[in-house]
């Protein structure tokens, strides 16, 4: 049986480990003893270790056939680099702010495959765009609307973080980049608010966020944008915090003690936004890919609404992100993809076999994307 080292025992790492343990010999590594104890209940091997130390990473993956990087974003890039330096094929869902493609030459030199950003968005959003792009279809525009939200809307923010709250805050402070008429446009996050209606959910806000990532370099499409979805009024409250200076990454002195403003705000919001294991939440996404074909505009539309798996205690964001990653690992294990280097999801979707494998795998786990075609 092939061995997999899962680095990170958070909600997504736990879901990945449980899914892979059906067909692989899985060991999960993390410094958080409480998270590891939960994973142990599913008869999965665990090791408590500090993965911020390079030697710990090396020791954790030395016997592995494959590695999953499910570390928090602020540790993600260095973890991935260490994995590549140790010549291990890896699937990465750390979603760090650094550019993973900077490690492409290193991965090729070490003859390994590193599939990165392989979650929901980035992830499936890139994957489906890449599939149509790699078929040579003339794509005019790509739009992705995505969000993870709690079922119960608690004031004032009506939000719980289904992944690292620190990474959520960064979505609100990092400028958003999108493509318009072939040119990169940069705007502050939380701008250009739209309102979209979703059956069974209601109206949600959509706002600019910096989610295109590798797509800005890997595909030649004139118009591309990603927006994050939240309940109405959420962004107005976050914008108020921003405008009052509570999201500034600067140090101030209070009673002779230096305090970082963003650290202070993050601590308060993390406690408010923490998604508890019994909290119900859902993932919602709409992808619209506009194709020009025979003087006609065709929209390929992918819709997803997925809820917490209450029977198994797995959040929707953990399921939709984690199972996309485990599908990618199985694609490698089954020998369906051989290219070496850093592979973003749009580069993975090279043929019908891989495309169908991905969606069949997700469907078997009750993550169901609805595909439709609208001709104008």
Stretch 138-166: mean pLDDT: 88
Range 32-55 burial, b when 16+ CB lie within 10 A, else e:
eeebbebbeeeebbbeebebeeee
**pTM given for the model:** 0.93
Exposed, middle or buried by CB within 10 Å (0-12, 13-18, 19+), for 353? exposed
How many whole angstroms separate alpha carbon 304 and alpha carbon 284? 5
Cβ contacts of residue 364 below 8 Å, gap of 6+?
A: none
Q: In this predicted model, what pLDDT tens digit does every residue of 55-71 receive, in sequence order?
A: 999 999 999 999 999 99
Computed from CA positions of residues 236, 251, 73, 315, in that sequence, does the dihedral angle turn out positive or negative?
negative
Distance between first and last Cα of the chain: 51
Domains of the chain (ranges; CATH) run: 3-118+315-367 (3.40.50.720), 124-307 (3.30.360.10)
Q: In this predicted model, what pLDDT tens digit does every residue of 69-103 receive, in sequence order?
A: 999 888 999 999 999 999 999 999 999 889 999 99
Computed from CA positions of residues 314, 317, 322, 323, in that sequence, does the dihedral angle turn out positive or negative?
positive
Structure tokens at 356: 């169908």
Q: In this predicted model, what pLDDT tens digit does every residue of 173-228 receive, in sequence order?
A: 889 999 999 999 999 989 999 999 999 999 999 999 999 999 999 999 999 999 99
Q: In this predicted model, what pLDDT tens digit does every residue of 105-132 receive, in sequence order?
A: 999 999 999 999 999 999 999 999 999 9
């Amino acid at each position: 049986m092939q061995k997999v080292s899962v680095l990170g025992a958070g909600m997504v790492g736990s879901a990945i480990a449980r899914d892979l343990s059906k067909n692989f010999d899985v060991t999960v590594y993390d410094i958080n003893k409480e998270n590891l104890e939960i994973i142990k209940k599913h008869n999965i091997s665990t090791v408590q270790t500090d993965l911020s130390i390079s030697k710990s990473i090396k020791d954790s993956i030395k016997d592995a056939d494959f590695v999953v990087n499910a570390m928090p974003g602020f540790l993600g890039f260095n973890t991935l680099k260490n994995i590549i330096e140790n010549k291990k094929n890896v699937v990465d869902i750390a979603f760090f702010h650094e550019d993973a493609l900077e490690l492409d030459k290193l991965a090729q030199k070490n003859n390994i495959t590193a599939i990165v950003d392989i979650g929901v968005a980035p992830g499936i959003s890139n994957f489906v765009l890449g599939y149509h792009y790699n078929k040579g279809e003339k794509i005019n525009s790509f739009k992705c609307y995505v969000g993870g939200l709690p079922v119960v809307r608690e004031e004032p923010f009506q939000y719980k973080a289904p992944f690292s709250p620190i990474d959520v805050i960064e979505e609100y402070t990092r400028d958003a980049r999108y493509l318009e008429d072939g040119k990169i446009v940069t705007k502050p996050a939380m701008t250009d608010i739209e309102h979209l209606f979703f059956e069974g959910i209601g109206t949600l806000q959509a706002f600019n966020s910096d989610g295109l990532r590798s797509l800005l370099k890997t595909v030649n499409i004139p118009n591309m944008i990603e927006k994050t979805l939240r309940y109405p009024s959420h962004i107005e409250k976050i914008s108020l915090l921003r405008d009052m200076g509570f999201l500034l990454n600067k140090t101030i002195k209070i009673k002779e003690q230096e305090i970082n403003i963003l650290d202070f705000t993050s601590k308060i919001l993390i406690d408010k936004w923490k998604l508890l294991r019994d909290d119900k939440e859902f993932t919602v996404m709409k992808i619209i890919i506009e194709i020009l074909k025979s003087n006609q505009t065709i929209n390929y539309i992918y819709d997803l609404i997925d809820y917490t798996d209450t029977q198994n205690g797995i959040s929707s964001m953990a399921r939709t992100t984690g199972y996309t990653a485990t599908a990618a690992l199985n694609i490698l294990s089954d020998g369906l993809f051989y290219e070496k280097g850093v592979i973003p999801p749009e580069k993975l979707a090279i043929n019908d076999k891989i495309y169908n494998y991905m969606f069949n795998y997700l469907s078997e786990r009750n993550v169901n994307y609805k595909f439709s075609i609208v001709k104008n």
